[in-house]
């Protein structure tokens, strides 16, 4: 794709102090749309994500996605000199991202009250387990705990079984996306209301809770407590995973007209024209009957054959993709959702593309993920430090 215009966030300066997932995912998203993201890491090990999951040439391949388009400065924030350098960076920044436990930055003299005095336009994203206020404020919190408190874990898995996680750190990612929305909203407010910045306070459990749909209204109105329902979607029918000869196919036949097309496709016109099944309420009442009828049709067929028939009928359906399926799918490739990237260590790797897709100013991958401290000297020189000063700081282990 030929880019003839700057990225949408070109010129935006972001300082990222977070580590692992939630804060850095927000920084990643801003970086993909052109922001200059300077990531502060502790000298020595750096962000622990560098060593999470599968490692190649000494670094996690996850790191290659999470930290692309960023610059890395290794800076000891626990030292007074490191804190002074951080202040100089933040004084020139538009956005500060952090996901430490509440009070950590204040202990380093880097709380918003003091930072905003030297940079009134600063927008500060703070992601934590339970938020910056409230009785749980000081408790440690990870995404998995936020998923449980937010109501998600109660709905995962099979009825009566141990609640399961969805397989990824969805709580952290939801918090990051809410934080990104907050940053962009605060930047717009700053632009139209006199240049004043503000704090965005995102709690992991609240980010999960925000996507829990009708969970609380149903409890409030009816005392209904939703429980795990396996692959089905309670209250909406038919929508489930159905067995085939070589796997499962997901079918969402819950629209009124879609349901009729589905029943015609599976040879059950009698159900498609049944007045009692004309709307969702009627179908929910007879969901077991419908699931049995649909699976009787899918069971003797392959996934491919089922999908071909349903695609021709205009019924939403899909198979359960593995990583291999995604990597080889032509639609992913056609939409630039699988990109080939060369790492700083010199090997090539496929990574996810950029979303959302802005047609006028699309996001891009401009640089691969940095090694620890790759940009320390360059960033310090931008702040006015001379080479001998940088050498002195490095000797004192303030920077690396």
Largest CA distance in the chain: 84
How far apart, in whole angstroms, are the C-alpha atoms of residue 291 and residue 294?
5
- Residues with Cβ within 8 Å of 322's Cβ and at least 6 positions away in sequence, in order, are none
- Own/partner contacts of 43-47, CB < 8 Å, gap of 24 or more, are 43/74, 43/75, 43/76, 43/372, 43/373, 43/397, 43/399, 43/400, 44/74, 44/400, 45/372, 46/72, 46/74, 46/372, 46/373, 47/19, 47/20
With residues binned 3-state (H G I as helix, E B as strand, rest as coil), the percentages for the chain, rounded to 5, are: 40, 15, 45
DSSP E strand boundaries for 282-324: 317-319
Please identify which of the residues 172, 291, 374, 375 carries the catalytic annotation. Answer: 172
Rounded CA-CA distance 30/44 in Å is: 26
- Transcribe 116-162 into DSSP letters: HHH-TT-EEEEEESS-SSSTTTTS---HHHHHHHTTSGGGSSSTTS-
Question: Which helix (H) or strand (E) segment is 392 a member of?
Answer: helix 387-395
CB atoms near residue 122 (< 10 Å): 23
Q: How many CB atoms lie within 10 A of CB 396?
A: 12
329-353 exposure pattern, b = at least 16 Cβ within 10 A, e = fewer: eeebeeeebbbebebeeeeeeebeb
182: its two tokens: 């907050």
Query: What are the structure tokens assigned to 297, written together?
Result: 């049709």
**Is 377 part of the annotated catalytic residue set?**
no
213-250 b/e (C-beta count within 10 Å ≥ 16 → b): eebeeeeeeeeeebebeeebeebebbbbbbebeeebbe
Going along 164-227, which residue ranges are E strands? Answer: 199-203
- Those residues whose C-beta lies under 8 Å from the C-beta of residue 27, and which sit 6 or more positions away, are 14, 16, 18, 37, 39, 70, 97
- Residues assigned a catalytic role: 172
């Amino acid at each position: 794709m030929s880019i003839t215009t700057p990225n949408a966030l070109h010129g935006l300066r972001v300082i990222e102090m977070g580590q692992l997932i939630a804060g850095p995912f927000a920084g990643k998203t801003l970086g993909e749309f052109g922001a200059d993201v300077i990531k502060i890491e502790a000298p020595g090990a750096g962000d622990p994500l560098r060593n999470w999951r599968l490692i190649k040439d000494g670094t996690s391949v996850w790191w290659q996605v999470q930290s692309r388009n960023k610059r890395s400065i290794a800076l000891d924030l626990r030292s007074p000199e490191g804190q002074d350098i951080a202040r100089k960076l933040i004084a020139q920044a538009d956005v500060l991202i952090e996901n430490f436990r509440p009070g950590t930055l204040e202990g380093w003299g880097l709380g918003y009250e003091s930072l905003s005095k030297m940079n009134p336009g600063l927008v500060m994203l703070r992601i934590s387990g339970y938020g910056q206020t409230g009785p749980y404020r000081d408790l440690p919190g990870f995404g998995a705990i936020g998923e449980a408190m937010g109501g998600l874990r109660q709905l995962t898995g099979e009825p009566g079984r141990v609640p399961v996680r969805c397989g990824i750190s969805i709580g952290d990612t939801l918090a990051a996306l809410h934080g990104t929305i907050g940053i962009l909203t605060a930047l717009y407010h700053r632009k139209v209301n006199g240049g004043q910045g503000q704090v965005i306070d995102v709690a992991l459990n609240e980010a999960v809770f925000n996507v829990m749909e009708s969970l609380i209204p149903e409890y409030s109105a009816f005392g209904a407590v939703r429980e795990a329902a396996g692959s089905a979607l309670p209250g909406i029918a038919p929508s489930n995973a159905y067995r085939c000869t070589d796997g499962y196919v997901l079918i969402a036949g819950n629209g009124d007209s879609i349901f009729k097309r589905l029943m015609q496709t599976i040879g059950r016109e009698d159900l498609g024209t049944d007045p009692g099944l004309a709307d969702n309420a009627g179908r929910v009442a007879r969901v077991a009957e419908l699931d049995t009828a649909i699976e009787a049709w899918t069971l003797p067929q392959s996934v491919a054959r089922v999908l071909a028939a349903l695609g021709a009928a205009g019924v939403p359906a899909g198979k359960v993709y593995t990583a291999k399926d995604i990597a080889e799918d032509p639609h992913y490739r056609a939409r630039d959702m699988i990109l080939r990237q060369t790492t700083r260590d010199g090997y090539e790797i496929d990574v996810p593309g950029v979303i959302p897709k802005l047609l006028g100013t699309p996001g891009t991958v401009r640089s691969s993920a940095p090694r620890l401290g790759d940009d320390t000297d360059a960033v310090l020189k931008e702040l006015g430090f001379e080479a001998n000063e940088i050498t002195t700081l490095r000797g004192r282990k303030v920077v690396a």
